[in-house]
Amino acid sequence: MPLPKQRHSKARGRKRRTHYKLSPLNLVPCPQCKELKIPHRVCAICGYYNGRQVIEIKVKEKKKKKA
């Protein structure tokens, strides 16, 4: 396995790593419920994809506090 002949400076290594960054998520509104979702994925809020319901979303009931 080859080894580097000389040490690379910190600036040179950091210049190389400038492209290692995350890009923001591309969110689109769901045509059914108008919530933001990732394109080409089932909507987590309503469960629709491509105009039809694919998964059924269960709604959690809020617990009443005892006084």
pLDDT per position as a tens digit, 41-57: 999 999 999 999 999 98
Residue 51: C-alpha distances to residues 31, 39, 46 (Å): 8, 13, 11
**The predicted structure's pLDDT at residue 67:** 66
* Domain residue limits at 35: 24-58
In a domain, 16, yes or no: no
**The predicted structure's pLDDT at residue 37:** 96
In a domain, 9, yes or no: no
Number of domains in the chain: 1
In a domain, 34, yes or no: yes
Say if strands 52-53 and 48-49 run parallel, antiparallel, or are unpaired.
antiparallel
Average pLDDT over residues 12-21: 91
Q: What is the mean pLDDT of the chain?
A: 90
Give me 6's structure tokens. 């000389």
In a domain, 51, yes or no: yes
User: Looking at the predicted structure, is the pLDDT value of residue 65 above 90?
Assistant: no
Give me 7's structure tokens. 């040490």
